[in-house]
Amino acid sequence: MLQVFLIGVLLLNINTAAAFEPISTSIAVGMAAALTGFLATYQNIFYYFEECCRPEWISFNKTGLEVDLDQKLFGQHIVSRVVLKAITGFMKNKNPKKALVLSLHGWTGTGKNFVSYLIAENIYKKGMASSFIHQFVATAHFPHQSQIENYKSQLQHWIKGNVTNCPQSMFIFDEMDKMPLGLIDSIKPYLDYYETLDDISYRQAIFIFLSNSGGENIMQVALDFWRAGKDREEIELKDLEMALSLSVFNNKNSGFWHISLIDKNLVDFFVPFVPLEYKHLVQCGMAEMDAQGLVPNHTLVDQMVRDMVFFPKSEKIFSVTGCKTISNKLSYYGEHVFKQKTTADGAGAGVSAGWNIYSYFYESCDSQWIDFNSTGLEVDLNRKLFGQHIVSRVVLKAITGFMKTKNPKKPLVLSLHGGTGTGKNFVSQLIAKNLYKKGTDSGFFHQFVATAHFPHQSQIENYKSQLQHWIKGNITNCPQSMFIFDEMDKMQPGLIDSIKPYLDYYEKLDGVFNRQAIFIFLR
């Protein structure tokens, strides 16, 4: 009706214009033709502006995924090959027999979350921001084993509801090694070969599981190849897949322990991420500099990587942290020497800020109240902190580098250690003083003391829930919040693990952007 009405109006204008000006007639005819073509493509105009479960918003880009895996993922030849084939084959199949299930395994920093991100970017127009991508993190969404039955019911309803809304939904489950035992088995029916289940087809959905479990087996195979003088590129999926699936299935500390997904062969591919070597970290560093708009500097990246920890101790082949810490370490190593790339007119990127009269009187999360003073911190550390030359140097570089990074990949996390009276709390106060206009009195500065705020072991589950809500709420209010945790040696065991997701590399978690926050632990 909308299409007919609009064209009718244009034709009416054509008849009127024809009596006066032939050029107007031609323009009107052209407009009518263009509008007809537009409406033929977007018969409901809302499809164009509002994300919906249609090809305009969900369209697999095979070439894009292939290029991304080739140019942005380093040292993972098996992953690149398996993921590209698995996703391409599934997306090309108009009538798949079951949902696609991938299980990505390997140690931290090897690229599991990054690969999930690349898949999303090349299927959904909005990438990870798509409302059809659903990410679950074990320690954030399922922290209490005692709530397992509630979690099962909630998870089933969530998956059923979202697949009903869009059959081409994607579900990512991170920290599978910390998932409550038995939880994932509750969604087994949605991953099986049923044509429909309660009149809903789950066959076009994608499920991706991420886990550190199996990393030991993967490392041992890679180490055996290295000691035998073979290239890591000679490792094939068949060298790892069977041993990987068995080790994961039999690991009592894993959310995969004896689950029917493995027993019934519902996981399509176990994808192994091999530990990264020196050359791969250099590639990560150079790519990260480019991503941050910095002029690549191989000498500095090389220095940074050489200072990182590798194992085994005797050979020092594989990185302990992989590429995960590269972003913040770049800020530390390159504070004074990295140069910003210039824009087309030769000027560096700039940021303009608006001004609100209310923010003049009331503290708000903007540059009037949060403005890092690098010189002030340097002077304070030099003149007021005594006998701590390492602390002064590391803290100044870490804070300065982090605050200068416009798009950090994760929050800054510092852990200060030493005997009482050596200056740990004082350093935290100096950081706050030179970051917030109100210093430690700022509403964005939050301090927790173990014996005062978390005194009872019996209340550990309540503390976990309260702490998660506190951090999430305050970062929602101000992304540049600072959280201090004092008396870490007296903190209830397991409590800090509950906030691990907010310190990780997720772009967003439950719609909240955590990457600009600062966490400081004192022990």
Same domain, yes or no: 399 and 287:
no
For residue 107, name the pLDDT band (cuts at 50, 70, 90).
Answer: very high
Same domain, 175 and 128: yes
Judge if 71 and 176 occupy the same domain.
yes
The whole-number average pLDDT for the span 239-262 is 73
Instruction: Give domain status of residue 221, yes or no.
Output: yes
Specify whether 118 is located in the same domain as 247. Answer: yes
Q: Say yes or no: 127 and 255 in one domain.
A: yes
Task: Decide if 514 is inside a domain.
Answer: yes
Place of tokens 């998870």: 155
Q: Are residues 148 and 255 in the same domain?
A: yes
What is the C-alpha separation between 262 and 410, in angstroms, rounded?
33
Range of the domain at 174: 62-272
251 and 102 share one domain: yes
| Cβ-contact 112, 104 below 8 angstroms | yes
- 132-141, 226-235, 345-354: the lowest-pLDDT one: 345-354
* Beta strands 310-311; 318-319: pairing state: antiparallel
Domain co-membership, 413 together with 325? no
Q: Are residues 205 and 109 in the same domain?
A: yes
- Angle at CA of residue 504, ends 502 and 507, nearest 5°: 85
227 within a domain of the structure (yes/no)? yes
Pair 252, 291 in one domain: no
According to the model, what pLDDT value does residue 39 have? 53
End residue of a domain, out of 333, 348, 373: 333
CB 484 within 8 A of CB 446: yes
pLDDT of 517 > 70? The answer is yes
The model's pLDDT over 258-315, given as tens digits with 9 standing for 90+, comes to: 577 878 889 999 999 999 999 999 999 999 888 888 888 999 999 999 999 999 988 8
Please give the pLDDT value at position 242: 78
- Mean pLDDT score, 227-252: 84
Q: How far apart are CA 288 and CA 19, in angstroms?
A: 63
Q: 89 pLDDT exceeds 80?
A: yes
> Based on the domain organization, do 89 and 194 belong to the same domain?
yes
In this structure, what CATH number is given to the domain that contains residue 449?
3.40.50.300
Q: What is the pLDDT of residues 400-457, one digit of tens each?
A: 999 998 889 999 999 999 999 999 999 999 999 999 999 999 999 999 999 999 999 9
Indicate whether 236 and 312 sit together in one domain: no
Domain end marker among 272, 301, 316: 272
Query: What's the structural domain count of the chain?
Result: 4
The Cα–Cα gap between 503 and 518 comes to: 9
The tens digit of pLDDT for each residue in 497-512 reads 999 999 999 988 888 9
- Rounded CA-CA distance 441/471 in Å is 18
User: Which positions ≥6 away from 443 have C-beta within 8 Å?
Assistant: 363, 478
* Residue 347 belongs to a domain: no
The CATH number covering residue 254 comes to 3.40.50.12190
pLDDT higher than 70, residue 57: yes
367 within domain boundaries: yes
- For range 85-101, the mean pLDDT: 97
Query: Residue 29 pLDDT more than 70?
Result: no
